[in-house]
């Protein structure tokens, strides 16, 4: 049936209304749909991972030692025991060896031998020693390790300190981030650090001098103090000549 003027105008209004109801082009997706069939691939979803830690495992704060720190500490302990045994053999077999004079000056070799033996004994049996790693309360800048003899103070009836005594086998050997960054060869080694700290425990070793040059100078100037100095034992063993 042919459209009359009225019907034609009504049809045009209907078509115009339909066009207005359609979404604008900006609203239509412009990406192509994924291909179908075997070649189609779904987008991968990244798994949720924890945020990366800001420090390496061996430098994380303690004082408990973690699973990355324990093998490094144990390897240093084994090496320290082996090197100390060699040092004891040298002093016992060759008491006038120039290496002894170099690091302990005119100190009696029996004194040096006895202190080396006690240091070796302390590292051979660490019963009663608590091992701490990266204790934030003690590992201040530049501290590689520390040795602490625990003590208690008795008070009198008025609450005043009466006497201080050392708790039997109450000791803490702590290592800090520089210990884990140290090497296992040359000087300044991880196992050398343990020898230094063990000397504090075993022979009440002192810190009269730090470092290789200062320890050598101490041996030249005062053999008695060199035989007390923890770093002299450390460097004596680290630089031990091959027999």
For residue 134, what pLDDT is reported?
95
Bridge partners, 171 (sequence order)? 129, 149
Q: Which residues contact 236 (CB under 8 A, 6 or more apart)?
A: 87, 99, 100, 103, 104
**Distances 157 to 28, 96, 151, 154 between C-alpha atoms, Å:** 90, 55, 20, 10
Pairing type for strands 161-175 and 145-155 reads antiparallel
- pLDDT score for 242: 82
The band of 11, judged by pLDDT with boundaries at 50, 70 and 90, is: very low
Q: What mean pLDDT is reported for the chain?
A: 80
Q: What's the pLDDT at 169?
A: 53
Span 127-153, mean pLDDT?
A: 87
Task: Answer yes or no: are the C-beta atoms of 66 and 133 closer than 8 Å.
Answer: yes
Helix or strand run (H / E) with residue 75? helix 69-93
Q: Tell me the pLDDT tens digit for each residue of 27-79.
A: 434 444 444 444 433 333 333 334 344 457 678 888 999 999 999 999 999 99
Q: Is residue 6's pLDDT more than 70?
A: no
């Amino acid at each position: 049936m042919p459209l009359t003027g009225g019907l034609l105008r009504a049809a045009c209004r209907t078509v115009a209304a339909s066009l207005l109801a359609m979404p604008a082009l900006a609203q239509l997706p412009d990406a192509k749909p994924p291909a179908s069939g075997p070649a189609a691939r779904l987008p991968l979803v990244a798994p949720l991972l924890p945020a990366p830690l800001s420090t390496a495992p061996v430098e994380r704060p303690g004082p408990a030692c973690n699973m990355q720190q324990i093998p490094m500490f144990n390897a240093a302990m084994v090496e320290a025991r082996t090197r100390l045994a060699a040092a004891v053999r040298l002093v016992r077999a060759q008491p006038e060896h120039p290496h002894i004079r170099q690091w302990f000056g005119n100190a009696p070799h029996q004194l040096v031998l006895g202190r080396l033996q006690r240091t070796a004994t302390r590292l051979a049996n660490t019963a009663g020693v608590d091992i701490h790693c990266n204790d934030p309360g003690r590992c201040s800048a530049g501290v590689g390790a520390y040795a602490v003899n625990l003590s208690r103070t008795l008070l009198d009836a008025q609450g005043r300190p009466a006497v201080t005594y050392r708790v039997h086998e109450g000791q803490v050997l702590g290592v800090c981030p520089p210990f884990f960054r140290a090497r296992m060869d040359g000087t300044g080694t991880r196992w050398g650090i343990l020898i230094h700290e063990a000397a504090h425990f075993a022979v009440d070793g002192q810190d009269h001098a730090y470092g290789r040059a200062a320890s050598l100078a101490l041996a030249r100037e005062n053999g008695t103090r060199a035989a007390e100095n923890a770093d002299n034992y450390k460097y004596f063993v680290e630089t031990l000549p091959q027999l």
